Amino acid sequence: MKKKILIFPFITFLFILIVFFYLLVIERDPSELPSVLIDKKIPTFEAESLLNKKKFISKNEFGNETTLVNFFATWCGPCRDEHVYLKRLSNEKGLKIIGVNYKDDSNKTVEWLKELGNPYSDVIVDSKGLIGIDWGVYGIPETYIVNSKGIIKYRLVGSITKKNYNAFYSKIKKSED
Amino acid sequence: MIMVPSLGNFSLWLALCFAIFQFVISCKKNNQSTLYLNRIAVNGLLLCAFLSFLSLMYSYLVSDFSVANVFQNSHTTKPLLYKIAAVWGNHEGSMLLWILVLAIFNYFIFKLYNKTNSIFISKTLETQAFVTIGFLLFTLLTSNPFERIIPVPTNGLGFNPILQDPALAIHPPLLYIGYVGFSAAFSFSVSAMSIESIEKVPWYNYMKPFVLAAWAFLTIGIAFGSIWAYYELGWGGWWFWDPVENASLMPWLLGTALIHSLVTVEKKKMLQKWVLLLAILAFLLSVIGTFLVRSGILTSVHTFALDPARGIYILVFIGILGTYSLILFATSTKKNFEKNYVSFLSREGSILINNIIMIVVCSSVFLGTIYPLIIEAFSNNKISVGEPYYNSTVIPIMIPAILVMGVGPLLSWKKIDVKKIFWKTLPSIVLTIIVITIFLWIYQSYNPLGIIGIILSCWIISNIIFTQNNIPKFSKSMVMAHLGIGLLILGITGSSVWQKEKILRMKVNDEIIIHNYNIIFKEIKEVVEKNYIALQGNFWVYNKKNNIITKLHPENRFYPVTNNSTTEASIHTNLLRDLYIVLGDGNQKDGWVVRVYYNPLVVWIWIGAFVIFLGGLFSININLKILKRLSL
């Protein structure tokens, strides 16, 4: 009886080893955090628009086509890097991208867009980060895929890069299924 | 001198040869030539590891960017200290340091050789050689620090400025002495289980100084990591239950249990089997910790280059070590390993309680760290386990351990007289009550956790003060380490229970009041240094009577080389509290985001850790003397 207990550390060890092994072998991204908003309707909001004179009302803007919502700011380095890919998505793929200018200086943003080009159909001013809170943003950049029914299908934490661009684009195409 | 990296690479391969040589000869039947050959192997291994390490350091010092590792982690503008620290500030270089420390411990094990223990030490060296081979192969095959790049870049990519901190520069070496020190305990344990005539060898006496060294250095290593987090991360705290922190805490907890039960084995020959298991687990957890951090299986504040191939390799290696040692543990039957009868009201009883609690805490931390992984493996859901879990599991379990700790050293081995113990501890009880009353009277703070913390700390320290004269000389180091724990608890309690935090946007000449201090934002200016540009705030701190106490200069640094910014907290420390200011984002018009913390008693955490470390060092010294007497 007593001897059997002695094998217990080994069995526990083996169990943990198998879990680790499984997690290493499968494709996974430890930094990926699913949003609670996935498969839910977008949070409704009204806000000032940076480029247009009229107010931005979310009800009127979503629900016709696949739309990306990109949280960005001029003070965020990775946002600058991802800008190229946003432009590709908007120019080459013809996607509608709404930018949320998160906790930023509006004048700087206008200059920034002049310098780098504007991939956004509209830019919303979120100077206090309140829209960010509604969407559950915790760090920028973050990009959400909203399908033509106004439902959030995917959230990308961090920037769009050369590495994840294709995977991200296939997620966009899949969002309509 | 273009050959230096090649020399480093060559000596690393040579080190592998020596390690294999050591493994092979130690496996063989023991005779006089074994000792001689082992001497060659052990010294050769040490020399090669050292040479290899020096080569890499040289490449960093002269900024030899033909070495990929130097290119990725250094830059010509980097200060000298951080060029040196950069050697182990990255994955590949840190493995080289790990190997060097392994070789050093290997050498010390060899030094224990004498006529009476040759079989035992030989077996230990065999195991140690196996561990070394594993790490050497890992480094050479998956993380070679001497890989070259062509064409040679003109300058390096710098390295993460957040890692440019003196505390972090010495944190890894100390930590690795800790982790690797447990490899010696592991080897001794495996050796003790596999040798027939182990009854004659006091294996626990040999194991003890190594465990003490590992544990003491782990303590101070963790403390420096914590100091770095406190000063450099700018979050106002010193412990975040990050997976990496947990990875270092778990072996520490097991090491604590191991030291205490080793004393029991030494004195009463009890708990032998238990000690053997603890020694194995402490090392396995050290390596698993490394695996968790380096394989990219978890995300944490530590950013090492992630590579699944490395993860698989370490995992296979852990699998071999763990399977072999734990099956050996389950199957080895030796009569003298089985003596376990304990009366709870005795010294050994108190040690057993310590052991049980350390194991429970360690399991809780382990569970918290890997539970999200297990959940993900079985259900595809993602969860995260955070601070509330650890605080609500670890703290309540630790409280009885600390109560017992206060009284444990006063108990005698075997049975004790409860009445006598009561009279012995009465002065401490009285003193604790007095102190806590005074404390409540002055500060009027009735936070239950805070009061418990103060009581515990007071209990330990006063027990030590009152029993000073009764403690035999060889236990002084233990008393010192316990005193350190008392101080540590004081610091932990103060800084976590009574911390005050204020975050606000401040313009120049704005004021903020935090715990009797009035802080005025005087000015903000730009400072240009060799490798960064900083916005520096100037804050004047006044006390209640409007006397100026200090001027604090938190910085918001920008490093052009890596294109990232860090915040540099500015801290005013005294024995009672820290004032901690962080300057965040902002501009002239709207002001800057400023975070101000009032952290009571923080400095006692570091003082406590240092006292524990010193206690550990003295204890090593005493135990080495015991060992010398044994070999005579």
Token readout for B26 is 């130690």
Contacts of A78 in chain B (CB under 8 A): none
CA A138 to CA B542: how far, in whole Å?
36
For residue B448, say if its preceding peptide bond is cis, omega within 30 degrees of 0: no
Phi and psi of B594, rounded to 5°? -120, 130
B122, containing H or E segment? helix B118-142
How far is residue B254's CA from residue B259's CA, in Å, rounded to a whole number? Answer: 9
Given an 8 Å threshold on Cβ–Cβ distance, is A24 in contact with B295? yes
Q: How far apart are CA B162 and CA B160, in angstroms?
A: 5
**B contacts of A28 (beta carbons < 8 Å):** 376
Going by their DSSP bridges, the two strands A96-102 and A67-72 should be labelled as: parallel
Q: Which CATH class is domain A34-174?
A: alpha beta
- Token pair for A82: 């991802």
Asked if A16 reaches chain B (Cβ–Cβ under 8 Å), the answer is yes
The dihedral sign for the CA sequence B455, B456, B459, B465: negative
Nearest residue of chain B to residue A80 (CA atoms): B563
Q: Rounded to whole angstroms, how far apart are CA atoms B191 and B276?
A: 10
The size of chain B, in residues, is 632
Task: Give the Cα separation of B614 and B178 in Å (integer).
Answer: 15
Q: Residue A9 and residue B323: Cβ atoms within 8 Å? A: no
Q: Which residues contact residue A138 at a Cβ distance below 8 angstroms, ignoring those fewer than 6 apart?
A: A157
Q: Across the interface, which of A9, A30, A75 has its CB nearest the CB of B326?
A: A9
How far off is chain A from B466, nearest CA to CA, in Å? 42
Rounded Cα gap, residues B597 and B579, in angstroms? 6
**Residue type at B595?**
R
The answer for residues whose C-beta is within 8 angstroms of residue A8's C-beta and 6 or more apart is: none
Test the B interface: residue of A1, A6, A14 with most B CBs within 10 Å: A6
| Residue from B287, B317, B376 to probe the interface with A (highest A Cβ count within 10 Å) | B376
Are B329 and A6 in contact (CB < 8 Å)?
A: yes
d(CA B58, CA B51): 10
- What is the secondary structure of B293-345 as a DSSP string? HHSSSS--S------HHHHHHHHHHHHHHHHHHHHHHHH---GGG------SS
Enumerate residues 84 to 113 of chain A having a beta carbon within 8 A of any beta carbon in chain B.
105
How many helices and strands, by DSSP H and E, does chain B display?
Answer: 17, 10
**B300 to chain A: which residues are within 8 Å by CB?**
none
What tokens appear for B334 in the block? 């030796």
Burial of A6 (0-12, 13-18, 19+ CB in 10 A): middle
Tokens at B6, concatenated: 């090649």
Closest-CA residue to B262 (of B168, B354, B198): B354
Q: Collect the ranges in chain A with pLDDT lower than 70.
A: 1-3, 27-36, 75-77, 138
Separation of alpha carbons A49 and A1, rounded Å: 74
- The sign of the dihedral angle between the CA atoms of B345, B347, B349, B350 is positive
Which of A119, A104, A106, A115 shows the shortest CA–CA distance to A160?
A: A119
pLDDT at A1 (0 to 100): 41
Residues of chain B with pLDDT under 70: 1, 29-30, 158-160, 295-308, 333-342, 344, 380-382, 414-416, 561-563, 632
Token pair, residue B534, equals 């900083």
Question: Strands A96-102, A122-126: parallel, antiparallel or unpaired by DSSP?
Answer: parallel
Run of H or E including B519: strand B517-528
**Nearest Cα residue to B536 out of B544, B546, B526, B528:** B526
Residues of B in contact with A17 (CB under 8 A): 315, 318-319, 322
Q: What per-residue string of b and e applies to B37-70 under the rule 16 or more CB within 10 Å gives b?
A: bbeebbebbbbbbbbbbbbbbbbbeebbbbbbbb
For residue B394, the tally of other CB atoms under 10 A from its CB is 18
Residue B62 touches chain A, beta carbons under 8 Å: no
Q: What is the DSSP string of chain A?
A: -HHHHTTHHHHHHHHHHHHHHHHHHS---TT----TTTTSBPPP-EE-BSSSSSPEEHHHHSSSS-EEEEEE-TT-HHHHHHHHHHHHHHHTS--EEEEEEES--HHHHHHHHHHH----SEEEEETTSHHHHHHT--SS-EEEEE-TTSBEEEEEES---TTTHHHHHHHHHHTT-
A25 neighbourhood in chain B, CB within 8 Å? 312
A window 62-81, beta carbon within 8 A of B: 75, 77
Which residues in chain A have their CB less than 8 angstroms from residue B374's CB? 19
**Nearest alpha-carbon partner for B4 in B47, B60, B44:** B60
| Probe site for chain B from A13, A17, A108, A163 (most B CB atoms < 10 A) | A13
- Chain B residues with CB under 8 Å of A30 CB are 296-299
Q: Residue B280: closest CA among chain A residues belongs to which residue?
A: A9
- Touching check for A31 and chain B: CB below 8 Å? yes
Task: Identify which of B25, B70, B60 has the alpha carbon closest to the alpha carbon of residue B44.
Answer: B25
Q: Does A33 touch chain B (CB under 8 A)?
A: yes
Q: Tell me B436's DSSP state.
A: H
Domain ranges of chain A: 34-174
ipTM above 0.90?
Answer: no
What is the predicted pLDDT for the residue at A36? 67
In a 13 Å sphere around the CA of B396, the CA atoms on its Cβ side amount to 6
> Chain A to chain B, count of Cβ pairs less than 8 Å apart?
65
Which residues of chain B lie closer than 8 angstroms to A77, CB-CB? Answer: 563-564
Q: Return residues 548-567 of B near A (CB < 8 Å).
A: 563-564
> Is A36 in the B-facing interface, judged by CB distances under 8 Å?
no
Establish whether the linkage from the previous residue to B560 is cis, with ω within 30° of 0. no
Least Cα distance to B25 among B15, B14, B16, B36 occurs for B36
Biggest CA–CA distance in chain A, Å, is 81
Q: How many CB atoms lie within 10 A of CB B517?
A: 19
- Residue in A10, A23, A32 closest to B327 by CB: A10
Taking CB atoms and an 8 Å limit, are A28 and B376 in contact across chains?
yes
Instruction: Give the list of residues 6+ apart from residue A39 with CB closer than 8 angstroms, or none.
Output: A151, A152, A153
The 3-state secondary structure of B549-580 reads EEEECCEEEEECCCCEEEEECEEEECCCEEEE
Q: Amino acid identity of B195? A: I
Cα torsion B521, B522, B524, B525: sign? negative
The DSSP bridge partners found for residue B209 are none
Domain ranges of chain B: 1-152, 183-395, 396-492, 500-603
